[in-house]
Amino acid sequence: MSKYYLNYLDELESEAIYILREVWAQFENPVILFSGGKDSILVTHLAKKAFYPSKIPFALMHVDTGHNFPETIQFRNDLVEKLGVKLIVGSVQDSIDQGRVAEEKGKNATRNALQITTLLDAIETNKVDCAIGGGRRDEEKARAKERFFSHRDDFGQWDPKNQRPELWNLLNGKHFEGEHFRAFPISNWTEMDVWNYIKRENISIPSLYYAHEREVVFRSNSWIPVSEYLKLEEGEKVEKKKIRFRTLGDITITGGIESDADTLEKIALEVSAMRKTERGDRSDDKRSETAMEDRKKQGYF
């Protein structure tokens, strides 16, 4: 075999860098949607490579539910300082205070769906014409249909049945005033690819991904962290467990798994043996068969 071929991680990296550079070339004011989770950290890392030795030419935009892991916010602030990029925060709390959205009521109330309004408001007020996300097609069946360049109408909505065909490497980012795009440079990565790459590149990620001792409550088949926002229900008891998180979202809905994986090697090994998808521990996706599709159509990440 000739030596002039790329292995799969290098090919995925090259594809992602190509897409990030296309975003920069085709849009006026793109941002990276940054949640503090591993996928948006990976996208930021790839952006650093794509524009080296220049600085990352995108601001990071964080949609803050107000229900954060403190570790995530610390990590975000450190990274922004290190990279010298601008941070834009869209606050769900502000949206609530302004009466733009109302808190959900009931037992499983979360601020997950409320993020849509905050996100679309932040996109509009900051005149963002392309929001780069860390969404992957292997995550969820609605996401499997996403394009690299995904059009959003002037209400921020996604029309999955009427998407622009995307052929070869030719990405069409043309849009009218008021419309915007979402770009997904790591569409073709799986959870395993992400971990293998993080391990290979030794990318720093929030401590929450590593196994650590934490006070938790067992709810809907996973360990929900105790926080000031968590309301204990009858029969639930607080326990101390060694856990880690496979995904990071709103602290009220992100469940951890019991684990001893405290290094990137151990995490990658553990993930390769996993028998459940990573979003299996996210109660936002468990609400219905089409929970993600419904949210995405309205403008969710």
Partner 1 sequence: MEINNNQLLRFTTAGSVDDGKSTLIGRLLFDSKSIFEDQLESVSNTSAKKGHDGVDLALFTDGLKDEREQGITIDVAYRYFTTPKRKFIIADTPGHIQYTRNMVTGASTANAAVILIDARHGVIEQTKRHSFIASLLNIPHLIVCINKMDLVDYSEEVYNNIIGQFEEFSSKLLMKDVRFIPISALLGDNVVNRSKNMDWYQEGTLLSTLEKLHISSDINKIDARFAVQTVLRPQNEDFRDYRGYAGRIASGIYRVGDEVAVLPSGFQSKIKSINAGEKEVKEAYAPMSVSITLEDDIDVSRGNMIVKQNNQPEQEQEFDVMLCWLNNDPIKPRAKYTIMHTSNEERAMVKEVVYKMNINTFERDSEDATLEMNDIARVKIRTTRRLMLDSYRDNRNTGSIILIDENTNETVAAGMII
Nearer to partner 1, 122 or 194 (CB): 194
Nearer to partner 1, 55 or 240 (CB): 55
Residue 6 interacting with partner 1 (CB under 8 A): yes
Residue 259 interacting with partner 1 (CB under 8 A): no
Nearer to partner 1, 45 or 67 (CB): 45
The stretch near partner 1 (CB under 8 A) out of 86-94, 115-123, 228-236, 288-296 is 288-296
Phi, psi of 300 (to 5 degrees): -65, 170
Closest C-alpha to 43, from 4, 21, 16, 83: 16
The stretch near partner 1 (CB under 8 A) out of 20-28, 106-114, 121-129, 240-248 is 20-28
Residues 125-164 that bind partner 1 (CB under 8 A): 137-138, 141-142, 144-145, 160-161, 163-164
Residue 107 interacting with partner 1 (CB under 8 A): no
Residue 53 interacting with partner 1 (CB under 8 A): yes
What is the token pair recorded at 138? 């292997």
Distance of closest approach, residue 280 Cβ to partner 1, in angstroms: 4
Distance of closest approach, residue 68 Cβ to partner 1, in angstroms: 26
Nearer to partner 1, 54 or 105 (CB): 54
Residue 293 interacting with partner 1 (CB under 8 A): yes
Could you check whether the bond before residue 57 is cis, i.e. omega within 30 degrees of 0? no
What does the binding site for partner 1 look like in residue numbers (CB under 8 A)? 1-2, 4-15, 17-18, 21-22, 24-25, 48-55, 137-138, 141-142, 144-145, 160-161, 163-170, 172, 174-176, 187-188, 190, 192-193, 196, 199-200, 268-269, 272, 274-277, 280, 289-290, 293
